[in-house]
Amino acid sequence: MSVHTVKEIVASLRRGEAKPSEWAARILECIRRADGRVGAFLHVDEEGALARAKSLDGQPVEGTLFGVPYALKDNICTAGLRTTAASRILENYVPPYSATVADKLASAGAVLVGKTNMDEFAMGSSTENSAFQPTRNPYDLERVPGGSSGGSAAAVAAGMVPFALGSDTGGSIRQPAAFCGVVGLKPTYGRVSRYGLIAFASSLDQIGPFTRTVEDAALVLEAISGFDPHDSTSVDEPVERFADGLDTGVRGLRVGVVTDIQEEGLHPGVKQAVEQAIAVLQGAGAEVVEVSLPHSRYAVATYYLIAPAEASSNLARYDGVRYGRRADADTLLEMYERTRSEGFGMEVKRRIIIGTYALSSGYYDAYYRRAQQMRTLIRQDFDRAFERCDVIALPTAPTPAFKLGEQLDDPLQMYLNDMYTIPANLAGIPGISVPCGLVEGLPVGVQILGRAFDEQTVLRAAHAYEQLRGFEMPVPALEGSA
């Protein structure tokens, strides 16, 4: 059993060893054979993918993603293809337009094969909150793949696609990447257009890739980045050739180690693996320096006021009037109540209630305003830290993947899975998770954070570690990997 990277697939097309339609057929066969056990996909568009791939046959191979099959998290809109956000309230929703990232990938010649499972409206850390099915970790089918982009992470880990896109609001790309032993990149807020991304928390959401290698992540990031006039939060920054310069090494690079990191709940094996990863960078010539992020201990509490408040506002549109599910009722108010009660799952309801309360009259200043003030302090901590270092290295998640159902009845424990990833979202900076070993037979990741819009340095450090770590992640023992 073998898996293939984006770079390898494009190279095979350039050499004339295969056609796009052959790769699409091979990937679709992999999905048919493996996904019944993993549950990574909500919709597979076999007909559309094959038609798209056949239209590329015989064309010159141009660009770095031409003919490459991929998947999208199901909160990224696709014209004519169902997009549900894993929610009953959007169970039959077919968007009239595609997200900017989907259009960019189509222009680059990539071939969309399907939409992946997720926690409903991206609210969760295990992909168990999907209204349709749980997704299982390819390394251990009794464990979660992480969330909320668990379907995308699992699909890449299982070799069903060479890359997939997810969204990261508080760690929803990096945490499942760590759990599933793949690379997951959250770009700087504003680097990638959010147009066509079904909103959870608009000031935090960002789209990014899952791949098998750091180089592949750089190639996908280049394709999806850039200013978009459809997105008012999109930033007009030049799009770099992110894969260039990856091999320049880390000699002289300053790697920050957080002295006041929260260690309560941190698995000793994860701590050791991350320390070994930092030692690898140091051995390659990087300078390790101590930095402090004193306010990050309040990041989880801050996030769970800001994100639910924004979710409460964003999800008000699902009222049964404009689109999506509409419950039968005798009065308008009853229709609102029944539509939302039947359409939203428990975790979504929980967050809407928290957010509405935080924004309510008399509580706004006590909760939401103070959370925004703490967010500023967290961002300022990073600004000061980056005066002393170029990147910061820390764990992606405090533990390896936990068992299905283990934390479903303990929301606080579930929320603490993101204690190392949330600060980067609050600060709007880029972060990547790279596999750094196995703990109890399960993948764990090291997280590398950088200055806003300095993905190049983050990728450079991550690539250097990946090349020097001395091991390859084992492929999960599933039939069907491409």
Which residues have a catalytic role annotated? 73, 148, 172
Amino acid at 408: L
**Residue 211 CB: number of other CB atoms within 10 A?**
27
CA-closest candidate to residue 6, choices 110, 78, 102 = 110
Phi, psi (degrees; rounded to nearest 5) at 161: -145, 150
**Residue 452 CB: number of other CB atoms within 10 A?**
20
Q: Is the dihedral of CA 367, 377, 397, 258 positive or negative?
A: negative
197 neighbors 178 (Cβ within 8 angstroms) = no
To 5 degrees, how large is the angle CA 41–CA 45–CA 51?
150
255 neighbors 468 (Cβ within 8 angstroms) = no
Q: How far apart are CA 202 and CA 308, in angstroms?
A: 11
Question: Which residue shows structure tokens 């979710």?
Answer: 311
Beta-sheet strands, E only, within 150-294:
163-167, 183-186, 207-211, 254-258, 287-291
Q: How far apart are CA 424 and CA 431, in angstroms?
A: 7
Contacts of 251 (CB under 8 A, 6+ apart): 284, 285, 286
> Helix, strand, or coil here: 346?
helix
What are the beta bridge partners of residue 257? 290, 393
184 neighbors 174 (Cβ within 8 angstroms) = yes
Q: Return the structure tokens found at 377.
A: 């302090």
**Residue 384 CB: number of other CB atoms within 10 A?**
12
Question: Which residue shows structure tokens 């668990």?
Answer: 150
What is the distance between the terminal CA atoms of the chain, rounded to a whole angstrom?
8
Find how far residue 262's CA is from the centre of its chain. 23
Q: How far apart are CA 305 and CA 201, in angstroms?
A: 11
Q: Return the structure tokens found at 331.
A: 């009065």
Phi, psi (degrees; rounded to nearest 5) at 290: -90, 135
Phi, psi (degrees; rounded to nearest 5) at 23: -65, -40
Phi, psi (degrees; rounded to nearest 5) at 230: -75, -15
